[in-house]
Structure 1
Amino acid sequence: MRILLLLLIPLFSLGQALPSIEEKTKGLEKAAGFIPFYIDKDNGKIWLEITERDQEILYCISLPAGLGSNDIGLDRGLLGSQHVIRFKRNGKKLFLHQPNYDYRANSKDALERKAVEESFASSIVWGFPIEAATGNTYLVDATDFLLRDAMKAGTRIRSAKQGSFVPDKTRSGIYFEAIKNFPKNTELEATVTLVNNDGEVGPQVRSVAANPDAISLRMHHSFVELPDDGYRPRAFDPRAGYFPISYYDYSSPVSEPIEKYFIRRHRLQKKNPKAAISEPVKPIVYYLDNGTPEPIRSALLDGARWWNEAFEAAGFKNAFRVELLPEGADPMDIRYNMINWVHRSTRGWSYGASVTDPRTGEIIKGNVTLGSLRVRQDYLIAQGLLAPFEKGVPANDKMLSMALARLRQLAAHEVGHTLGIMHNYASSVNNRASVMDYPHPLIRLTAKGEIDMSEVYDTKIGDWDKLAIAYGYSQFADNTNESSALDKLLRDGAAKGLLFIADRDARAPGGSHPQAHLWDNGTDAVTELKEVMKVRTKALDAFGANSIRNGTPMAMLEDVLVPVYFYHRYQVEAAAKLLGGVYYSYAVKGDGSPAMKMVTKEEQLKALDAIAQTLDPAALRIPDKILQLIPPRPAGYSASRELFTKRSGLNFDPLAPAETAADLPFSFIFHPDRINRMEIQGQQGGLSAGEMATKLIELTFKANRKSGMEAMIQQQTEQVLLTYLLNWSVNESLSIPARARGAAVVRELKEWLEASLKSTTDTSLKAHYNYALERMKAPDKAKPTQHAVIPPGAPIGCE
């Protein structure tokens, strides 16, 4: 009997009535709002008051206080995951339930909808024990939920191989200063401390954390009322340059596509829909981080505001504003579109992200992250080009002017992403048609041979940007066929020569579009490469002690030399894409787009000749007058990845930069995708890979021999070329005909080397030829570097 009573006690306890919310929260401070909550500072707890109802809400996670490491990426202001959720009671628990909106049935038939819902897994994000209840309103302790590693910071750190970090509750707690409640959003925050679980902590953590064994971050949780059904989704079109959302709609007729695509965009409506130009019902307002200093603050405000011109062109007056964040406002508050000024220990990415309603694509919050060290890198590039410090910092600081001009463009660029717009890497051939490209400094030499920076960056929004905003935000009259009107916009843009090519095509090292590149300029990649090389030559001629400020260690000249020496790197890539290049667009059936067209053999040969000029030992050699100025770095100044590699100990290595600069074009030219295309094009009247390789061998191995340092660089370049030729002959990523061609090229070169070895008496040249012949015995050991040793070049280094 006693045993039976003991067994019944837990059942009896479960059946006991819960205390009322009023009893449980007596003496606690209540924060009324979207989800009411109670603050228990004495015990470090947050209690949520949830009324059970079939209401979906948006749950978002973010990081208001970050790690400070660009490589790991846990930045201040970083957005985390976003979910549509609802609270559902299950016995004495309240589940945080996430439906699966990737698979739907947009049908009025409840059973049809239910069939899809039950076919794909939903998720229970969290289970809260119910601690008190009043009617159908429940009280739950949210503390453990808030103190978890919601941003998966430990996973990121482990993925970067920087240590094994796990949350420590004893060193974590609610960040009461930042918890707020509003009618349509509830904002909660916690300090989460991650501790080293075991193993070595990596340098990327050690360099930024106050104590590398304990990383304290702040993690923010937003519960947000979802938008009403007044938003009308707009169809995604691959020609328009917008980020899509997509889902599978199983209620689609069999004759129609099951996967639906819509663009991401803000809600914008005219007060007067019939007017050609109207003020909006509610403008799109962005707020600049009020911790941004001058003159950067003014530059960012100016650049971000460029977008208003595009909205005016789309029929809206005063629809887009950028203001300074009011004092006391929280940048993590979901109601504020933010431009964040973020500090890291090293320079790195800027990016634009958004909180988006996954049901429709409506952007709820735009969130820009601008790395603060970016402006210093642009300043450094200008400093290296101008060598301006003969008399200290000049009164007319052209370096600062260039850096601020780039910041204006950067602000516009990243805000563009948060308006829903993708990169457009083909705009540089269209007179700077878009701020969504990555622009290289446009610098020319005057008639007197001086560096001219008067048009270094654009100062306005571009024609492509106006077209993109018109596609995404134009409001058409009620009797207008929206699909036809949008198609006409894109057709008219194409007729004006506006192009759109996105990331995948432009970033691929073996990419084929000859007009889509990062950090390039000009309508003709070959002509621009020649211009860039002229500027580089001028800058290297002027480079010297006046390239750094008085009182700076002379060794720091290397920091300034790196971006000058590699000034041509991106234009080389642009020219390389002409080899095996193909003109194309993101055409849709019936839009009249021209057919794909191969780059002519003549164009390809011009590109190859221009690239070969960058491999000339005279172009690769760093002048002796510069080498004599750069001693080893003094104690207290550490080396970094921003510098040249060295095989000479602490001393400057003049061969290493030349090796990297030679490897750069070869890594693009000999990319397997390009070689495969060129072999096919060779049968279609284009330049074959074999012809390309023969030409390169003539311009390197078979060129007139140099002397001194240039001879060493010449031989080094030839060995780098041989690495790619040998790999070509055995690389299984290449087609069988391409590998056969590669083997034939190597065989012909081997015969020439054997003959040349017999005819030369130069001991250095003999050693060079013998080494090459020895390497030919094991082609599988030739490993192309893909320019992995090159210092970071892009001012943002963003993927």
Structure 2
Amino acid sequence: MGKKALLRTLKTILVMALLFSTGTMVSQKKNKKNKEDKTEEVKDSVKSSKGKKYNDLIKQGTFKKGLFNTIQVKTDLYLEINDSLFQREFLVVNKISNVPLPVNDAGLNKGMNYENKIITFHKDLVAKKVWVKSSEPKVSSPVGDAITASVNSNFSESIIEVFDIETKNNDSTSVVIKANKVFDGKQKSFNDVLSNIGFGGSVKSDLSYIESVKTFPKNIVVKSQLTTSVSEGGPALSVTIGVTSNIILLDKVPMQPRFADNRIGYFAEKHWYFNDSQHAVLEKELITRWRLEPKKEDIEKYKKGELVEPKKPIIYYIDPSTPKQWRSYIIEGVRDWQVAFERAGFKNAVIAKEPTEADTDFDIDDVRYSVITYVASQKSNAMGPAVVDPRSGEIIESDIIWWHNVMTSLQSWMRIQTGAIDPKARGNKFSDEHMGEAIRFVSSHEVGHTFGLKHNMGASFAYPVESLRSKDFTAKMGGTAPSIMDYARYNYIAQPEDNVEAITPKIGEYDKYAIEWGYRWYADQTEEHTELNNLIAKHQNDPLYFYGEQQDRDSTIDPRSQSEDLGDDAMKASEYGLKNLKRVVSNILEWSYDKDESYYETGKLYIGAIGQWNLYNYHVLNNLGGIYLNTTVHGDNKASYVPVPAAIQKRAVAYLLKNTIAIPEWLFFNPILDKTNPLQDSPLGPYEYTPYTLARELQYGLFYSMLSDDRLLRMTENELFQRNGTKENIFTVTQLFQTLRQNIFAPTIQNKSLTILERMTQKNYVDVLIVSTNKIFEKTDAKKGIQLNENLNMPQLCDYLDDSKMARNINQSSLKRVTEVTSDKKGELNQILQLLKSKRSIGNQETKNHYFDLIQRIERALNNTL
């Protein structure tokens, strides 16, 4: 194309662009005017044609004023939304209000919060609709930054519901919507109860309805009865669940958040921060806590160190259905926290009371009331969850769920752990006073969760074992550990001659420290950051203030942070525990005696004692291949990963060889078996274990855990990265196998005939090596043993929290086929094989049969291993 032709073409394009632009602008102006005219027409139409309908609704129905004015016309529920509430943030909180037996039996009960979400309402007069949007408010950016526009686009709200505008009020400052569908089960947008509780399916709308509605200045409470059909291979079963939906108006300005520090244990909400000046997005966690602030007139007193009452205290109400004899103990468990909040500068910060006639609006399901809900159920548990504003971590409300049958767990703990030293803890039924003190302890523990505190499983490691035998020390420290948030139950270490009286968990020094860190008020964020760091630094080397994360029971890495343990030396603590456990077992028949009753209580107490023995086994075992995991920061001069010293690991193996691998006959073969086997409850009634089967499976489970790939890999890595290079400081996998083989096969080496239990132990050891080496055998008895261990552990509380997900995740599992572990296990099998071949003709016939069997198993396994 020539130069002149190019110019003509460009000129034509420019003219066309100008014409198009002008036409577009005219068209846009016309559309804008038409839209404005249409909006005015809609406004006039709604006002004129609907005004009469608004008055008719008021006349026909029941009108209540509140956050949303409500109008109930027969079975229809209308909500009147004021213009000032559009685009404000609300929190929908859904709870269970009542359940039939099948749901109760599944562990779902009144008071349980199953679904929360942030919503906003948006008025659209053109479409005559109210749109409802939802979002996860986990992202922030400064208002003036350029990136904020991108944040808004990339983390936008989603539409979850829409309502027709039925009418407007007489002065056009609010609109009315018909809200039935989001509360009666037709739509899942506000309340998807079946999916959230794991039932699935859909609500039968013809068998469901809105039961009642209450409206208050900052929230609305809607109760519904929702019915579904459940079929488990048989006839369909109709199940109706009562649910309550709260819609809460959130503050325009959220509470000032406090950022989490992994050296102290608080539940937290994740949050992302964007700004123009950063090189990467900043991810922080906001701890969950109540908004506890001094009154304006008390701020100066507070800053000077005077105790002041908070602007709004934390109040817990006792469920009126709680048996009267337990109420005072539950209340005392809450009040015990006063001393911790005084450390944070507040007096009378925590209040527990029974509702009175003055509490005219009291409703357990109303989110304005934090309630300790008493549940009639056979489940033995308690839990303390909280409803949280995800924008800031502010705890808005909490419902502690207290299952009636939790007392069975308390009685089991006390009988088995303290029966040897406390006569009050021996019978089939305790006095109300003795049980009440146990209830008080559980109340304090669960309330601690509602303040935002996580389990601190490292607290129990703070006290020396011998100190727990001291009457003076335990009286001074006031409990079994410096935190009631540990699972440090009762003092099983103290011996009868020690005369220790303080044997129950209490609120301790860590708890006071944690509350001070989480709740001390600061007007200035810079000061807050500095002072909180100083508080942690001040105590970082004192074991009383150590925080240890809860770990998965099947993959514990740090032996300091274990559940149900006591003291700083698991071997020594367990030896003392066994002494007391022997005393308990020798008295089980006497303590469980109840004239003309069956031996059910005897069998239950017996299996509880076996469970306690098994608990000690794993407290000890987790020292083998263990690593002390320290949460470190720059400048604290602490090592993040410290292998458990070799001497401690060797002591752990010695304990297990003596007390576990050599099955204790005093526990598994005793006069109790003349009357009953160990009994465990099941849905089909008591389940009996024969002693040989139980001992065999528990021993197998221990071997399986002891020789797990992850444990052996940690031992290998400890050897590889030992800094000073001296063999005295490490315990190798080779040394472990050599120690086990020399003990387990000692009778074989000595040319003796084997007893049944000796043959059992050798078979278990060899089979675990085979199963964990040869993938073909992976689905054998291994899983049974592991499941049984869990079943026999002592009762657990608040396991709903699933804290194991919060433990540190260290990857040691990749490419196991090319690690030393495979070679070590094959080598151990070969060592055993050569020994057995040399002894195959020695011993009685049962021993020879046993050797023949093991030789064939090992040869087949080694030949089949890939």
The alignment's TM-score, normalised by the length of structure 1, stands at 0.84
Residue equivalent to 1:123 = 158
1:133 equivalenced with 2:133 (yes/no): no
Structure 2: which amino acid aligns with 1:63?
I
Distance 1:704 1:464 in 2: 52
> Quick check: 2:114–2:196 contact (8 Å CA) kept in 1?
no
> Quick check: 1:569–1:664 contact (8 Å CA) kept in 2?
no
14 and 234 in structure 1: CA distance in 2 versus 1, 3 angstrom threshold: closer
Deviation string 1:578-628 (CA, Å, 9 cap, x unpaired) is: 111122321122234345321111110001111222222234752341111
Structure 1: which amino acid aligns with 2:339?
E
> Where does structure 2 lack aligned partners over 5 or more consecutive residues?
1-40, 464-480, 776-814
664 and 326 in structure 1: CA distance in 2 versus 1, 3 angstrom threshold: farther
718 and 441 in structure 1: CA distance in 2 versus 1, 3 angstrom threshold: farther
1:106 equivalenced with 2:138 (yes/no): no
Deviation string 1:416-445 (CA, Å, 9 cap, x unpaired) is: 111111110000022411111112321346
Residue equivalent to 2:587 = 542
Task: Identify which range, 322-331 or 465-474, moves more after superposition.
Answer: 322-331
Task: Identify which range, 515-524 or 245-254, moves more after superposition.
Answer: 245-254
Residue equivalent to 2:785 = none
Deviation string 1:293-345 (CA, Å, 9 cap, x unpaired) is: 14322222111221111001111111111222446621121111222222333
336 and 564 in structure 1: CA distance in 2 versus 1, 3 angstrom threshold: same
Match of residue 517, structure 1, among 562, 574, 596: 562
How far did 1:268 drift?
A: 0.8
How far did 1:758 drift?
A: 2.0
771 and 70 in structure 1: CA distance in 2 versus 1, 3 angstrom threshold: farther
Secondary structure of residue in 2 paired with 1:495: coil
644 and 605 in structure 1: CA distance in 2 versus 1, 3 angstrom threshold: farther
382 and 435 in structure 1: CA distance in 2 versus 1, 3 angstrom threshold: closer
> Quick check: 1:621–1:710 contact (8 Å CA) kept in 2?
no
1:490 equivalenced with 2:527 (yes/no): no
How far did 1:235 drift?
A: 1.8
1:579 equivalenced with 2:624 (yes/no): yes
Residue equivalent to 1:181 = 215
How far did 1:499 drift?
A: 4.5
> Where does structure 1 lack aligned partners over 5 or more consecutive residues?
1-11, 202-210, 647-652, 784-799
Structure 1: which amino acid aligns with 2:635?
G
1:143 equivalenced with 2:180 (yes/no): yes
Residue equivalent to 1:481 = 527
Secondary structure of residue in 1 paired with 2:705: helix
Structure 2: which amino acid aligns with 1:86?
T
361 and 433 in structure 1: CA distance in 2 versus 1, 3 angstrom threshold: same
Residue equivalent to 1:205 = none
Aligned pairs (5 A) from 1:376-525: 376-383=408-415, 403-431=435-463, 432-444=481-493, 446=495, 454-458=501-505, 460-476=506-522, 481-504=527-550, 506-525=551-570
Structure 2: which amino acid aligns with 1:65?
N
Distance 2:452 2:411 in 1: 30
1:62 equivalenced with 2:95 (yes/no): yes
Distance 2:746 2:557 in 1: 29
Residue equivalent to 2:746 = 702
1:625 equivalenced with 2:661 (yes/no): no
Residue equivalent to 1:795 = none
> Quick check: 2:424–2:434 contact (8 Å CA) kept in 1?
no
Structure 2: which amino acid aligns with 1:433?
P
Distance 1:599 1:321 in 2: 44
1:155 equivalenced with 2:185 (yes/no): no
How far did 1:400 drift?
A: 5.9
Aligned pairs (5 A) from 1:618-697: 618-619=664-665, 621-630=667-676, 640=683, 646=689, 653-683=690-720, 684=722, 685=727, 686-697=730-741
Tell me how large the CA RMSD over aligned residues is. 3.5
How far did 1:487 drift?
A: 0.5
Structure 1: which amino acid aligns with 2:853?
Y
Aligned pairs (5 A) from 1:760-775: 760=843, 762-775=844-857
How far did 1:644 drift?
A: 5.7
- Bigger Cα Rg: 2
777 and 287 in structure 1: CA distance in 2 versus 1, 3 angstrom threshold: farther
> Quick check: 1:509–1:671 contact (8 Å CA) kept in 2?
no
How far did 1:710 drift?
A: 10
Corresponding pairs, count:
734
Aligned pairs (5 A) from 1:81-480: 81-90=115-124, 91-109=127-145, 112-134=147-169, 135-148=172-185, 152-155=192-195, 165-176=201-212, 179-196=213-230, 198-200=231-233, 213-229=237-253, 231-251=255-275, 253-255=277-279, 257-271=281-295, 272-275=298-301, 276=305, 277-326=307-356, 329-347=362-380, 349-383=381-415, 403-431=435-463, 432-444=481-493, 446=495, 454-458=501-505, 460-476=506-522
How far did 1:60 drift?
A: 1.4
Secondary structure of residue in 2 paired with 1:218: strand
Residue equivalent to 2:64 = 31
Residue equivalent to 2:79 = 48
Distance 1:781 1:255 in 2: 56
Structure 1: which amino acid aligns with 2:120?
R
Deviation string 1:184-216 (CA, Å, 9 cap, x unpaired) is: 1111110111112x5526xxxxxxxxx970111
Structure 2: which amino acid aligns with 1:377?
S
Match of residue 756, structure 1, among 814, 824, 839: 839
Distance 1:37 1:777 in 2: 78
Distance 1:67 1:705 in 2: 63
> Quick check: 1:444–1:453 contact (8 Å CA) kept in 2?
no
How far did 1:392 drift?
A: 13
Structure 2: which amino acid aligns with 1:659?
R
Residue equivalent to 1:740 = 823
129 and 765 in structure 1: CA distance in 2 versus 1, 3 angstrom threshold: farther
> Quick check: 1:545–1:554 contact (8 Å CA) kept in 2?
no
Structure 1 or 2: more helix by fraction:
2
Deviation string 1:539-563 (CA, Å, 9 cap, x unpaired) is: 1222225414223212552222111
Distance 2:426 2:559 in 1: 40
Deviation string 1:383-427 (CA, Å, 9 cap, x unpaired) is: 467889xx9998997576664433222211211111111110000
How far did 1:687 drift?
A: 1.3
Deviation string 1:87-106 (CA, Å, 9 cap, x unpaired) is: 11341322211134233423
The alignment's TM-score, normalised by the length of structure 2, stands at 0.78
158 and 531 in structure 1: CA distance in 2 versus 1, 3 angstrom threshold: same
Structure 2: which amino acid aligns with 1:317?
K
> Quick check: 1:545–1:557 contact (8 Å CA) kept in 2?
no
574 and 212 in structure 1: CA distance in 2 versus 1, 3 angstrom threshold: farther
244 and 735 in structure 1: CA distance in 2 versus 1, 3 angstrom threshold: farther
Runs of 4+ in structure 1 displaced over 6 angstroms? 12-16, 385-388, 391-397, 780-783
> Quick check: 1:443–1:453 contact (8 Å CA) kept in 2?
no
How far did 1:478 drift?
A: 5.3
How far did 1:59 drift?
A: 1.6
Structure 2: which amino acid aligns with 1:125?
I
86 and 156 in structure 1: CA distance in 2 versus 1, 3 angstrom threshold: closer
Task: Identify which range, 69-78 or 528-537, moves more after superposition.
Answer: 69-78
How far did 1:29 drift?
A: 0.5
Distance 2:277 2:458 in 1: 37
Distance 1:213 1:673 in 2: 45
154 and 478 in structure 1: CA distance in 2 versus 1, 3 angstrom threshold: closer
Structure 2: which amino acid aligns with 1:155?
S
Secondary structure of residue in 1 paired with 2:612: coil
Structure 1: which amino acid aligns with 2:709?
P
